[in-house]
Structure 1
Amino acid sequence: METTAEEFFHDFRQDLLAGAEANGSFLLAEFMDVVSRELTETGFTEGFEFAHYRAQRGMRVDGYWFNDEGGLNLFVADFDSRTELASLTRTDVDAAFKRAVNFFDASLRKNLAADLEITSPEYGLARQIADRKSLIRHLNLILVSERILSDRIQALPDAETAGIATSFHIWDISRLHRQRSSRSHKEALDLDFEAMFGTGISCLPAHLGTDAYQSYLVVMPGPILSTIYEKFGARLLEQNVRTFLQARAKVNQGIRTTIMTEPGMFFAYNNGITATAQGVETKRTGDGLQITRITDLQIVNGGQTTASLFHTRRKDKADLTQIFVQMKLSVIDNEESEKVVPRISEYANTQNRVQAADFFSNHAYHIRMEEFSRRLWAPAGKGAQRETKWFYERARGQYADAQAKLTPAEQKRFKAENPKPQMLTKTDLAKFENVWDDHPRYVNLGAEKNFARYAARIGKEWDKSSDSFNEAYFKRAVARGIIFRATERIVSAQPWYNNGYRANIVAYTLAVLSELTRRQEKSLDFQRVWNAQAISPVLESTIAVVASRVNDDLLRPMQGISNISEWAKREACWTRMLENMDEFADLLPDEFDCECLSRDDHLSEKRAARNTQKVDNGIEAQTKVFAIPAARWIAVHETLAAKRLLTPKEIGILNVAMQMPMKIPTEKQCVVLLDTIEKARAEGINID
């Protein structure tokens, strides 16, 4: 049952009020946090830093993000905690963008930073704009509003601000509503090549003989591909390719060399790109068939080629007019895209595979976390009468999808069992885990880069011992989430907090606590946090004193760095805190020992949890194997044996499976049979 914009507005407002109360934050900060997370998760922006500045001189800004492509996203809010849905007029839009333009211009050309408090986020932003003057190539002004945009406003043409190309984007309540309601859970790119470049793109149809889907072989001009990437950046890349690029250098030196020295041979040397789309419009011309429009173009292989073209043109002033890139374009129906696109991406990326094709949402790790989240009941918290669950959103939009076909009464029950504040995304989990186990710097680099780091780390650990990711691991991850969110609330309530850098303070505070317990050969008792579904008064007071010291440290960046958020992304920031760890240790109250487990107790708990997971894996494997009839196992054996793809061990175990139910495979044998199934699927055998 789809909601109207009016209903969405009221639900959105209630979530906002509840979130602000739970997090101890101002409504504006909560509004920007909610919207920015939405835009980050869908690839519209790579990250977000809150920085609220409003002056009588007609200037305003509410957040920002500098990306690696020389772009700056400046956010300005239209928010007044309205109780009813109102209209956003052209006058309102022009005034909001004018205030953001004034802030940028004053920062760039009028030394605005000199008038601002040196420890404030807006000072850091203004200084960084001035310092990066020669590096900023594109300015994206993003208006986020709790109102609904007037139908009279159609398009906002690009312009220039202080000589810098500027684009204008509006995210009103109806656009947010469409975003959350869409099947693909992200806003589709609509590329009109004739309007953007004055010409279509030459192509050949390659779907002859099949009605399953359309496909085209495309010759993509280098300048056009580079320009599209410059305009849309990470949004052009399928999520898993984005993750891949975040974990690697942007420019491939071999690609760069060809662009610079042999541009005419680029088509011959380069493997090309693989892409998908939801829709394509074509027309016949004197030069043959051309694609004139593509809806939701997503590059699923060749992201590095695309990024390298852009960076080489920008940094080396390379001429791309002789560059052409071959592109295989598959048009996938919206209904099938969620299932098919990840598969295309996975199979297309086998040559540069990174931990199961870059840790897709259908990786076994995420599937297991999802299964735990649907099955495990969290203890009732203090004062509560019923147990609840922590809903893990393995694929974007699952939380909303789970309620889509429920009656109002069923929705009410679902939300009672799965409260919205207890919904976790993949990027949430990456944040909670990395501050404790890896490095606070990555968390400060933004959601995409942090997730890339997390994916690479967990992918290796999964291959080494998947049994380590068990019920205890899931409960620990949730406990870390409880601590993380409590720390956000604690920091916001401190008298020294000046409404800036909360994300940086929280990340380093928890990293310091993790380091202190590790040096004492202890571990925080996460099971206690899970059992209570809250942190204790002792842990709360400990976090408060450590956060205060962390704040003091962050506000003293090394010479030459003016932006605290940028300082938090440097290795030197964490190195200096590590050097001062004895001072942090002196802050811990004696009672903090009661919050920790000894190293031996901690390792004993982990061993027991691993052993339990091994038993669960065997039971799960048997259940899946028993669901496949003997006749299907015979087909698997015949096909793989004919191709000599079976080991003696697999042949022996398949002989048992082919005699079910007369013979029953053991749990260990069933694990081997599941691997054999994957081998069979690769050979085209239908097991489902």
Structure 2
Amino acid sequence: MKELEEYHQNLMADIGREADASGILMVEAFFDRMTERLTEAGELEVADRAYYQSGEGAQKLRIDGYAGDPRDSEGVLGLIVCDFVDSDGVQTFGKGDVAPILNPLIRFLKKARNEAFRDALNEANPAFQISDLIITTWSQVTKVKLILVSNRRYIGRDDAVKLAELEDVPVTWSVWDLARFERFDRSGQAREDLVIDFASDFGAPLPALKASQTGAALESYLLIVPGEQLAAIYDRWGARLLEANVRSFLQARAKTNKGIQKTIRDEPELFFPYNNGLSATADDVSCVRTDKGFAISSISNLQIVNGAQTTGSIHAGLKSAKEQLPQVFVQMKLTVVPPERSEDIVPKISEYANTQNKVNAADFFSNHPFHIRIEQFSRDVIFTAREGERHDSKWFYERSRGQFINARGRLTAAQQKKFDLEFPKAQLFSKTDLAKFAHSATGRPHIVSRGAQKNFAEFAKEIGETWSKSDTEYDELWYRRLIARAVIFRKLEAEVPKQPWYEGGYRANIVTYAMAKVFHDANGEKQVLDLDTIWRRQAVPDALQRALLLAAAEAHFVITHPPSGVRNMSEWAKQQACWNGLKGRKLDYGAEFDGCLVLKEIARTSERDERNKKREIDGISAQSEVVNRGPEFWREILARGVADRKLTPKDQQILGVCASMPRQLPSELQSKHAINVLGRMREQGLVSG
């Protein structure tokens, strides 16, 4: 309970600072912070704030946000309501308190389907836009998901419970309370309730074949899952079944496949021989012996790492081929991976299972070399104190959820004060933040507007492709310039709500569009935005801030004035056409803006200097490693390589120099070559050390 109280205290302080700095309501800051967790956890694909409240008592209507166009998420309409209490201590609520919070949201949903309700509202009203979206898409809605987000602790037992249907459309609700957010922020996990009990839910355990020996490092099983059961499981838990770190990557392939659908509809008995099946992981399984043999009675935290398209297509069969589903069966390879090993094991399972994908799914995991390198920079690179501040500081890159809170939590009170000076909370950023900073600066605000996970998927794809060719671009200077982009993005986030033209709403869209516009206009054939000055000062120059806010005002106008026939501004901001509309507008930033630019050749000189410096450091590091390993080690490597005929004459010559230390000392270039030979021999399985 102490950890939860500390989490609540820190959460309220963070929300208070965000609200004060940006001039927004605390509940709005709470919504932004917590819905980011919802998308990362797979509860929703995207979360757009759209606050509306009217009436009192039994007539009260309320909504705080929605999960985008249901046509983009297999017909799931997600609606969000906030239960925010401004209190110093942890408050609680039970199952009996849920109805008074959810009923206004349900009433809103019923009203929103009525054209008379919609037409009585101003088109700029968020309620008008949600109502219009619901009316337009209702025929394609397959499920309504109500999400209750609270900063109180829920003491009820029920979650993700199915409610009454709305004209044959099932309605579910789930609670994300303070304790659940705390678990997620600390460990990246909030799935304790995702337990599939085959005995209770489907009448009997699922027959299985154990595919691992007793005492094996990992348990593995082969199962034949009935299509009806898989469809029902996905209907209940949806995207939460898709591995969190590659969710967006897999969901891009989760749309129903026409070929798979045709097999389900016309030849369901041939589905099993035609389909490759699923690869999945779980935290734990419960096994039993039945009259028919070995079986699995329950699975904890099932995650599908390959087979999202198959799963989505079978789920679609609930509507398109319900009578054929009983004849559909799919094979599943299930591996039990303890949570503490998931970061190492699951990416490899996903990578090898997704061999048909051009970009490996492993590129999306937090242990990809790109993320590890950025994390290392974030722990080492010091930035000079801002004007008026006394302490230099660093930016903390959280490549895995929970790193920051856990690193701080292990320290004494005195050490925490030192940690807070070294890594201010305002300088914490995640993988999805990194992707927002990068894409906002490279002309992709419409992608950023599609939500943190979809934007990250696009960014990761680009990084994966570039990294596979060469990783040299992502050096320390690249990291410092990334932080310059972060400084710009965060400054805009704080300043936009203070502007006289800001009417509330669409802040996230305005920020990314304004930043993209200024970068687009600044970066030309001869000049680019001077990012190096920004990271050195850790501040946005006044002339640049004026330019950013001028672009923000223009972005606000473009976003809130969509073309005829387009009514939903949040959905409009996700379109390339919206970005084209802003990109083509001429803005006068004033003469002082030229002082924010630098000649492209000067920027390139900095890049060359950084690469030369890195090469020099790499050479020194390689020489140090060769010397530290000692001549005896290199004599063994030389002998092994010669015996297996794996060395070129040059390899043998340089390894001979290393083996003759201290009589001869290898140069930096020779040392780098020796390290490369060692790496090559490791890959070939000739050496292990």
Q: Indicate whether the TM-score tops 0.5.
A: yes
CA pair 662-433 structure 1, distance change in 2 beyond 3 A = farther
Q: Does residue 603 in structure 1 map to residue 608 in structure 2?
A: no
Tell me the equivalent position of 1:24: 23
Residues 1:423 and 2:428 aligned together: yes
Q: Which residue of the partner structure matches residue 153 of structure 2?
A: 148
Q: Which moved more, 1:26-35 or 1:403-412?
A: 403-412
Query: How much does 1:620 deviate?
Result: 4.6
Tell me how far 1:635 sits from its aligned partner: 7.4
Please, what TM-score do these two structures have when normalized by structure 1?
0.91
User: Which residues of structure 2 form unaligned runs of 5+?
Assistant: none
1:352 paired to 2:351:
no
Aligned pairs for 1:314-353 (under 5 A) are 319-352=324-357
Query: In structure 1, how many angstroms separate the alpha carbons of the residues matched to 2:130 and 2:640?
Result: 63
List per-residue Cα deviations over 1:32-67 (Å, max 9, x = no partner).
111111222222222211111111131111111135
Identity fraction in percent: 39
Matched, 1:187 2:191: yes
CA deviation after TM superposition for structure 1 residue 593, in Å = 0.8
Provide the rounded CA distance (Å) in 2 between the counterparts of 1:311 and 1:481: 41
Quick check: 1:19–1:421 contact (8 Å CA) kept in 2?
no
**The one of 56, 65, 68 aligned to 2:67:** 65
- Tell me by how many angstroms 1:403 deviates: 2.1
The Cα shift of 1:281 comes to: 0.8
Rounded Cα–Cα distance in structure 2 between residues aligned with 1:253 and 1:435: 35
2:98 pairs with one of 93, 113, 118: 93
* Equivalent position of 1:412 in the other structure: 417
CA distance in 2 between counterparts of 1:263 and 1:656 reads: 68
Aligned to 1:8: 7
Distance 2:662 2:273 in 1: 56
For 1:564-575, list aligned pairs within 5 A: 564-575=569-580
Structure 1 segment 38-53 matched on structure 2, within 5 A: 38-53=37-52
Q: For residues 514 and 564 of structure 2, what CA distance do their matches in structure 1 show?
A: 23
Which letter maps to 1:173? L
* Cα separation, partners in 2 of 1:59 and 1:510, compared to 1, 3 Å: same
Paired residue secondary structure (2:523):
helix
**8 Å Cα contact 2:227-2:327 kept in structure 1:** yes
Whole-angstrom distance in 2 between the partners of 1:638 and 1:263: 61
Farther-moved stretch of structure 1 (409-418 vs 219-228): 219-228
Within 5 Å, which residues of 2 pair with 1:421-500? 421-500=426-505
- Contact 1:120-1:498 at 8 Å conserved across structures: no
Is the counterpart of residue 280 in structure 1 residue 285 in structure 2? yes
1:590 and 2:591 are equivalent in the alignment = yes
Look up the equivalent residue of 2:600 and give its one-letter code: R
- Give a deviation string over 1:643-664, Cα, whole Å, max 9, x none: 8877777676666666677766
Q: What is the SS of the residue equivalent to 2:220?
A: strand
Question: CA–CA distance in 2 between the matches of 1:537 and 1:318?
Answer: 66
SS at match of 2:458: helix
Following superposition, the deviation at residue 21 of structure 1 comes to: 2.5
Spell out, residue by residue over 1:429-470, the C-alpha distance to the aligned partner (whole angstroms, 9 max, x if none): 001101111411110111111111101112222233322111
Q: Which residue of 2 aligns with 1:553?
A: 558
2:207 corresponds to: 202
Q: Please give the secondary structure, in 2, of the residue aligned with 1:574.
A: helix
- Residues 403 and 411 in structure 1, CA contact (< 8 A), matched pair in contact too: yes
Instruction: Give the whole-Å Cα distance in 2 for the aligned partners of 1:636 and 1:34.
Output: 53
For 1:673 and 1:230, how far apart are their aligned partners in 2?
Answer: 56
Q: What amino acid is the match of 2:208?
A: C
- Distance in structure 1 (CA, Å) of the matches to 2:363 and 2:376: 21
Residue equivalent to 1:112: 117
Query: In structure 1, what is the Cα distance between the partners aligned to 2:312 and 2:671?
Result: 44
* Distance in 2 between residues matched to 1:657 and 1:217, nearest whole Å: 51
Distance 1:602 1:671, change over 3 A: same
Q: Residue 636 of structure 1: CA displacement?
A: 7.0
CA distance in structure 2 between the aligned counterparts of 1:651 and 1:322, rounded to whole angstroms: 64
SS of aligned partner of 1:4: helix
C-alpha contact 1:192 1:294 (8 A) present in aligned 2: yes
Deviation at 1:111, TM superposition (A): 4.0
Mean Cα displacement is larger for which, 118-127 or 156-165?
A: 156-165
Q: Gaps (5+ residues) in structure 1?
A: none
Alignment-mate amino acid for residue 341 of structure 1: V
Residue 252 of structure 1: CA displacement?
A: 4.8
* Alpha-carbon distance between aligned partners in 2 of 1:686 and 1:484, rounded to the nearest angstrom: 47
Query: Which secondary structure state, in structure 1, belongs to the residue aligned with residue 90 of structure 2?
Result: coil
Q: 1:261 to 1:662 in 2, by over 3 A?
A: farther
| CA distance in structure 1 between the aligned counterparts of 2:641 and 2:137, rounded to whole angstroms | 60
Task: For 1:600, give the aligned amino acid.
Answer: E
- Report how far residue 13 of structure 1 moved: 1.0
What number of residue pairs does the alignment pair up? 682
Q: Does 1:365 align with 2:365?
A: no
Shift of 1:631: 6.9
Equivalent pair of 2:82/2:149 in contact (CA under 8 Å): yes
